[in-house]
Chains A and B, each alone.
Chain A
Amino acid sequence: MEIYWVLGIPLTGGIFLALWGNRGNAPEINAGFSFLTLVAAAILTARIVAGGPMVVGGEGYFFIDSFNVFLVALTAFVAFTTSLFSRPYMRIEKEHGRLTDKRLRLYHASYQVFIAAMLLALTTNNMGILWVSMEAATLATVLLVSLYRTPASLEAAWKYFILCGVGIAQALFGTILLYFAAEKVLGAGGSALLWTHLNAVKTQLEPTVLQLAFVFLLVGYGTKVGLAPLHNWLPDAHAEGPTPVSAVLSGLLLNVALYAVMRSKVLVDGALGNDMAGSLMMGFGLLSVVVAAFLIKRQTDVKRMFAYSSIEHMGLVTFAFGMGGPVASFAGLLHMTMHSLTKSAIFFAVGHATQHAGTQLMDGIRGLIRTNPTIGWGLMLGTIAILGVPPFGVFASEFLIITTAMHEHPWATPLLLTALGVAFASIFGKVQPMVFGETEATRLPHQPALAPVFMHLGLVLMLGLFIPPYLAAWYRQAAQLLGG
């Protein structure tokens, strides 16, 4: 039952805000709907933790287990904090004349629909509907990326639409192939694409077809994860869209796309009985880590730099899931959580910093610690956290991933360590003057809404020091579902 609330609330929110989003309190309504979604998601999570996986509705339209309920909770949480952040942020954007009431209405409505689409992608049991909702999530954000209507933002949105569209068309072909294999075992009809049914018969599925299907699914959904060399849309979309959109794209959409890949991987592993899927994911993941790390060095735009950092971290997670096994899958899930929380916190801080400086170029942002200590510390701590400095949680997950890699695939370790080192040096070297450099800028006139930043970073810190036993058990359960 809770599942209908989880999906229904954001959808209602989207419709409501599309119709009445011109009101002055639309940002509060947006936050309110996000809060209700979070409450529903929390209840659903509690239910799954207590009662184990469940299949809901008709022939089993929704399927919720420890793996996806963890992502549902994360998605609802970050969506809520982002809506809190976007409240004052978008107001100031409007005061600066970059947005109008009409565009804000579009923004709020699309935001809710986007959240609904992601939650549907996470909870649906049907691999076809998974595809449909991934595409819906893209469509909901295309007009958000171009919200400022600048030439660069339009170009970014166009690239986002076309590249993700072509990518997702590959995934559709993969889904067709999957159905083709499933139909032989399960018979024609709607139930042949249900993941639970497929999972039950995965050893009987035709291996050759599934192998081909996985390649298409990986390339298709991988485009949305931002895996190199399919990552071209990602930095542009992150840099040119409004900051709250960058935060949810980076913190949530990439996770959901990777979730789709993982669901397919479980099936393919069962059918093939070898680690073809894992090796492919390791290859793509490693390439993304290395390519992104070296591109970070060349960035001048702060949001673009952190977008590349997202590619790097998603690559790392993909690599961890590719290795498989209980430790690596556990580390991958942990890293997914840490990255979502930290990266959205960084985008919140960066949003305020760029808004104040009036530019996204890093050379134009200096001495944040003087103009506003809260933003300065938020950005600095966030950066330290994402770079994997202990005691933050990213350190724990990266440590686990790298030690597992040393153990199982020693050849990959130098590449990973070099890439992480390069990323560390370049990001730290660029953020340091932004925070501590000399400046003549005046103090920020208003108090920034940075409670979400410290909320996220506090969680990351806590998880780095101590993972509560029930949470650890939960991660372990989820890792097991991934074939660990």
Chain B
Amino acid sequence: MAALGYNLQLVNLLAALLLLIAFAMLSQRRIVGLITLFAWQGAALSLSTAIVGWSTGQPHLYWSAGLTLALKVIAMPWFFYRLVRKLDVDRDVEPMINIPTTMLIGIALVIFAFNLALPISQMSGTVTRSTLGIAMATVLLAFLMMITRSKAIPQVIGFLSMENGLFFAATSATYGMPMVVELGVALDVLVGVFVLGIFFFQIRETFDSLDLKHMEKLKER
């Protein structure tokens, strides 16, 4: 049980890291910095999944951790770095709301997430249930990032970071989803990023920029 105690501490530490990175992403101005942070978030998620799997004897979580490592720490950041270099878009990104305000909204969101998660985590039988609040906070912060950024790549990273939060929620509430579902989700994410890669080139070709401010023509008048 003592070993479990240490592992639990470690998982909690990684959960805190996950949340910190989510905040750091909110305040990050450069796209390359954002990608690096995203890779770190993936690494924290992967490591914590592996630790939970090891300490609770759930071998399928190793697969999940490996998948996260391969996709979200190695493949996607590499792909995004390349994309940024190819499209030459690494300039400062000015968020639509200034950063201190965003941070304050973020703090409010975290409090809200913890309240929302409380009833569920009380029902959960897993040792990691206390981290469910953090998982939900990560999801909401990623959502906030998607709203406040006007460039295409930060929005997509926000989307993927939301997926990180959801996976963390699945691990902490239920020790992960069934294997076949996790594989399916991973496949979707992979295909999605690939489709987006093509899509970025199309946007760039047509608008000469990846700024979504150009895309405000379609609305009800």
Contact = CB atoms under 8 A, between A and B. Distances in A.
A152 B177 contact: no
A180 B188 CA distance: 22
Nearest to B181: A128
A146 interface: yes
B207 A183 contact: no
Given A154-B215, A158-B203, A236-B218, A129 B173 contact: no
A143 B191 contact: no
A155 interface: yes
Size band of the interface chain A makes with B: 35 or more
Interface string B146-181: 100000100100010011001001100111011111
B199 interface: yes
Contacts of A165: 159, 192
B199 A295 contact: no
Contacts, number: 133
Nearest to A299: B220
A158 B124 contact: no
A172 B166 CA distance: 8
A136 interface: yes
Interface string A430-466: 0000000000000000000000000000000000000
Given A154-B206, A177-B120, A128 B178 contact: yes
Given A154-B206, A173-B139, A298-B220, A180 B215 contact: no
B125 interface: yes
Interface string A349-382: 0000000000000000000000000000000000
Contacts of B198: 143
Interface in A163-213: 165-166, 169, 172-173, 175-177, 179-180, 183-184, 188-190, 192-193, 206, 208-209, 212
Given A169-B162, A209-B123, A143 B177 contact: no
Interface string B194-216: 01101100110111000010111
Interface of A: 126, 128-129, 131-133, 135-136, 139, 142-143, 146, 149-152, 154-159, 161-162, 165-166, 169, 172-173, 175-177, 179-180, 183-184, 188-190, 192-193, 206, 208-209, 212, 236, 240, 295, 298
22 contacts: A126-B180, A126-B181, A129-B181, A146-B199, A150-B206, A151-B217, A152-B218, A154-B207, A155-B215, A155-B217, A158-B203, A165-B192, A166-B143, A166-B162, A169-B166, A190-B179, A190-B180, A190-B181, A208-B119, A240-B218, A295-B220, A298-B220
The 3 closest A-B pairs by CB, nearest first: A128-B181, A132-B184, A155-B215
